[in-house]
Amino acid sequence: MSAIWIHYARPRPHWYSLGDAARTARQTEWKTVTDSSVAAGGACLGRYHIRGQQDFETVEIWRFPDAEAAFAHWAALTQADYGEFNAFANNIGLSMEGMP
């Protein structure tokens, strides 16, 4: 059963003290993770700027084949130190398709 995964994020304070090269290296690493998640069946439905009316800076919405795929995506990101440079809040939800 497919799952929706909603990811809110904002940079942590020490992100802003990184140089451009270090930031780019991190972002490249995280892009590799997201590319792998897409190759494994995930789909990023969009990334939006919400700083004007939220505690976070961005929200991303993903659809995954199942909850385990969402977990695998997040576990790979955290393994690449994503959570150490970004505060976050995540949500998971089941598709209502096929439910009475």
Residue ranges that bind other proteins, judged by CB under 8 A: 1, 3, 5, 12-14, 66-68, 70-71, 74-75, 78-79, 83-85, 87-92, 94, 99
**Closer residue to other proteins in complex, CB, 46/100:** 100
Identify the helix (H) or strand (E) that includes residue 99. none
Least CB distance from residue 84 to other proteins, whole Å? 5
- Give the list of residues 6+ apart from residue 79 with CB closer than 8 angstroms, or none: none
Least CB distance from residue 78 to other proteins, whole Å? 6
**Closer residue to other proteins in complex, CB, 29/66:** 66
**Closer residue to other proteins in complex, CB, 49/93:** 93
Nearest to 69 by CA among 97, 46, 43: 43
Least CB distance from residue 82 to other proteins, whole Å? 11
Gap between the Cα atoms of 25 and 67, Å rounded = 29
Gap between the Cα atoms of 22 and 44, Å rounded = 25
